[in-house]
Structures are given as structure tokens and as C-alpha cells.
Amino acid sequence: MNKLLTQLSRLFQFSVAALKGTDADYTKGSINKAIALLAIPMVTEMIMESLFAIVDVYFVAKVSVNAVATVGLTEAVLFIIYAVAEGLSIAAAAIVARRVGEKNLKTAGDAAFQAITVALLIGLPLGVIGFLFSDNVLSLMGGSQDLINEGGKYAQIMYAGNISVILLFLLNGVFRGAGDAATAMRSLWLANGINIILDPILIFGWWIFPEMGVAGAAVATTIGRSVGVIYQLYFLLGKNAIVRIHVKNMVVKTQMIIELFKVSFGSVAQFLIDSASWIVLVRVISIFGPDAIAGYTIAIRIVIFSILPSWGLSNASAILVGQNLGAKKPERAVKSVWRAAWVNTIFLFLVSVVFFLLADWIIGFFTPEPIVKGNAINALKIICGGYIFFSIGMVLGQAFNGSGDTRTPMWVHLGVFWLLQIPLAYILAVPLKFEDEGVYISIAFSHALYAAIMIVLFNRGTWKKTIV
């Protein structure tokens, strides 16, 4: 008993140290310890991000079915912006991690500033376009006029505030590349904590605030993420960050921006391919009405809740790959990836068991509508049937990205999620009359195939020779 208590105490102390942040050198020592030090704050960060998604849809579901459908249609297009943000984040993390592995912190700071410059150049025009044409986007996505009348403001605010999303993702990529996962975690805690507090206040008009309906969710999200960005900049410009932006770093360097675009091209393309695929999948689901869209939206938020912690593990393996390649230790990078994949597989297997057994109760927490509930239960059970494959594919894909080889997974994404998944989803849903369930089957199958291909490519080892 005393031994157990001692071990639990050590585990608690280690977890606290990881959450506080450490200046550990991830290119030497225990691989298990390195994964844990990076993964604990990253997983915690992703849990908070997924909790934000769950809380958002929970409160929005209290407004109306159209409100939930609006969120689903809006975010299907926002995935494009998320793709740009995440792609730039991966590129920045890969470049910064390589420089940190080489112990070249000055150049890492240069890369961080160039990344911010690129984010502003991309995010501001997208915000203007989204603000002006939000209603048209909802209409193109299959939204009815009633849905647009009720949820148009939500889409308009979310699209206009996209710059906060891009910067939040990108700056966290800089912190992760530096191995400072704890600061990245705290920025999302702050951003999402504010959103969770403001959501019910602005949606339902509590206290002195007006009742804004679904638009209140967009305002809460934008405010929360903007505060998170301010927090990130405070640390990045301060004295205690591992990678800092000094005045001498604040010079636009064309060659470095070109290099950032080269690396980010593949990672942005990966997410754009995924986003375009999800948009088409949602469009196919919309054929079967707002109840199908609402059911899908609830289920996919729950899926995000379970998979985002896995992204934490995947991101940890990516950073270890980047830093260890920079330190000329490729075999240590390989070992780190496979250990992260093993842990991720165990985790998602346990999650899938829980979802299969408790799907009715979990979905019932979000909606009492019988048709919506039934659609969501089917979606959750079918999609999580591919979780074991999700777990391996996620880690191996991020390992390639962490090395700077973003183009290999890009081509695999194109073949699997565009050329295969989309036609398969339509054929199963419409001609074969599986309806929305056909879409969910195509999602599970495509991720299984993606994992199998990535295993073969990873074992070839060409990613070890990538230069960034």
C-alpha cells in the first residue's frame, strides 16, 4: 500500500511539473519521460479545446435545431481556415523544433516572427471576405432561408474573427516547437475558459447582457480566442520564453518566408484536402434534412472531444522527431513515434468501447429530439469503429510533418480522403440508400486505409533525410 501511494505521489508530482513547464532537453535521456513531459500539457490543452466544442454545442442545442445546424454548416467551411492555421502551425513547429535541436535560438525567433507576418497577411483578407459573404456561404452549404435568418450573424462573426484562430494555432505551434508545451496549454485554457463562461451569458442574455441566441456563441468564441492570443504574445515577447521575439527578430526575411511556405504547403494542403472532404460530406448529409445535419454535428463534436487528446500525443511525437533530427539522432525519433502510437492506440480503443456501450446516454445529454438523437448515435458508433486506425494514422502523419516532410502525407490525404472517401460516401448514401450512415461508414473505412499506407511509408524512412 505504501509503495502504491509513493508511486501515485511521484506520478502526481511529475504531472504537476509537466503542466508547469520545463526546460528539459528532449534529445537525450528517457524517451518515455520526454513523451510524457510534452504530451501531458498537450493532451490537457486538447482536452480543454474539445471541452470548448462540447460546451458550445450543448448551449446552442438549447436554442433550436436550426442553431445547431448553423454551427455545423459554418464550421464545415471554417475547417478551411483551420486548415491554413494548423498547416502554418505545423510548419512553424517543424522549423522551430529543428532550430532548437540545433541550439540555434536566434534563428528560431526569426522564424516565429515571419510566421506571424504570414498569418496576418492571410487572416485579414479572409475575415473581410467571410464577413461580406457569410449568408451566401450558408446558402451554398444547403442552409434554408429560415436557418440563414436565425444563424447568419453567427457565421458572419465567426468568419470575421478568423484571425484570432490563425494566430492562436500558429503561436502555439511556435511554443510546441520550442518544447514549451505548457505555455501553449495555458493559452488555450484561458481562451476556452473565457468562452465557456461567456457562452450562456451571451446566448441566453443573463444578467445585464442582451439575449443574442446562437450569435452569442460566436461572440464568446472570438473574445476568448483573442484574449488567448494576447496572452501568447505577452510570453513570446517576454524574457522567460525558450524562443523569444526580440526587436532584432522583427525584420521581414523573404527567404525565410519562402521556406515557411514550402514546408507549410504540404501541411496546409493536408488540412485543406480534409476540410474540402468534410464540406462535401456535410453537403451529402444535408440531402437528408436538418435532423441529419444536427445529429452529425453533435456526434462529430463528441468525436472531436475524444480525438483531440490524441492529437496531443501526436504533436508530442512530431516535436520529438523535429528536435531529434536537428540533434542528428534519427533512431531516437523512430522510437519516440512508435511509443506514442502504442499509447494512443490503447487510449482510443478504450474510448471506442465506452462510446459503443454508452452512446445512448451520451447523445441524450445533448438533445431529447428522437430523430436527431438516433442519427447522432448511429454516427458516433460507426465513426468510432475506426478509432484504432485513427490512432496510428494520426501519430505517423504528424511524425512526417514534424520532420518537415509534409508532402508525403499530403499525397496520401489527397488519394484517400478526396479520391476515395467522397465518391464512396455518395455511393453508399444515395445510390445504395444507406443515407447518412453511408457517409459515416466511408469515414471509418478511409481512416483505416490511411493508417495502413502511412505504416508502409514510415518504415521506408525517407522522412529522416528531410532538410528544413
Q: Hey, where are the domains in the chain? A: 28-465
* Confidence check: pLDDT of 7 > 70: no
Measure the N-to-C terminal CA separation of the chain; round to a whole number of Å: 51
* Residue 96 CB partners (closer than 8 Å, separation 6+): 108, 111, 112, 173, 174, 177, 178, 243, 322
* Confidence check: pLDDT of 155 > 80: yes
In this predicted structure, what is the pLDDT of residue 50? 65
Segment 100-150, tens digit of pLDDT: 888 888 888 888 888 888 888 888 888 888 888 888 888 887 777 888 888
The span from the CA of 99 to the CA of 257, in Å, is 15
In this predicted structure, what is the pLDDT of residue 396? 94
In this predicted structure, what is the pLDDT of residue 1? 65
* Confidence check: pLDDT of 265 > 80: yes
Task: Determine the length of the chain.
Answer: 468
In this predicted structure, what is the pLDDT of residue 231? 93
Q: How far is CA 246 from CA 113, 115, 167, 406, in A?
A: 9, 14, 18, 29
Mean pLDDT, range 417-435, rounded to an integer:
92
DSSP 21: -
5-14, 21-30, 288-297, 412-421: which has the minimum mean pLDDT?
5-14
Label residue 332 by pLDDT band (50, 70, 90): very high
* Confidence check: pLDDT of 312 > 90: no
123 vs 467: which has the higher pLDDT: 123
70-84, 249-263, 282-296, 423-437: which has the minimum mean pLDDT?
70-84
Label residue 4 by pLDDT band (50, 70, 90): low
Residue 323, classified by CB atoms within 10 Å of its CB into exposed (0-12), middle (13-18) or buried (19+), is buried
In this predicted structure, what is the pLDDT of residue 278? 81
Mean pLDDT, range 1-18, rounded to an integer:
69
* Confidence check: pLDDT of 88 > 90: no
Mean pLDDT, range 199-219, rounded to an integer:
88
In this predicted structure, what is the pLDDT of residue 109? 86
In this predicted structure, what is the pLDDT of residue 92? 87
In this predicted structure, what is the pLDDT of residue 74? 80
Segment 12-71, tens digit of pLDDT: 676 776 777 666 778 888 888 888 888 888 888 777 766 766 777 788 888 888 888 888
Segment 354-388, tens digit of pLDDT: 998 998 898 888 887 888 888 899 989 898 888 88
The span from the CA of 193 to the CA of 210, in Å, is 21
In this predicted structure, what is the pLDDT of residue 455? 94
The span from the CA of 126 to the CA of 129, in Å, is 5
- Around 46, how many Cα atoms within 13 Å sit in the side-chain half-sphere? 21
Beta carbons of 148 and 138 less than 8 angstroms apart? yes
449 vs 35: which has the higher pLDDT: 449
**Mean per-residue pLDDT of the chain:** 85
In this predicted structure, what is the pLDDT of residue 243? 83
Residues 114, 117, 121, 123, CA torsion sign: positive
Beta carbons of 260 and 96 less than 8 angstroms apart? no
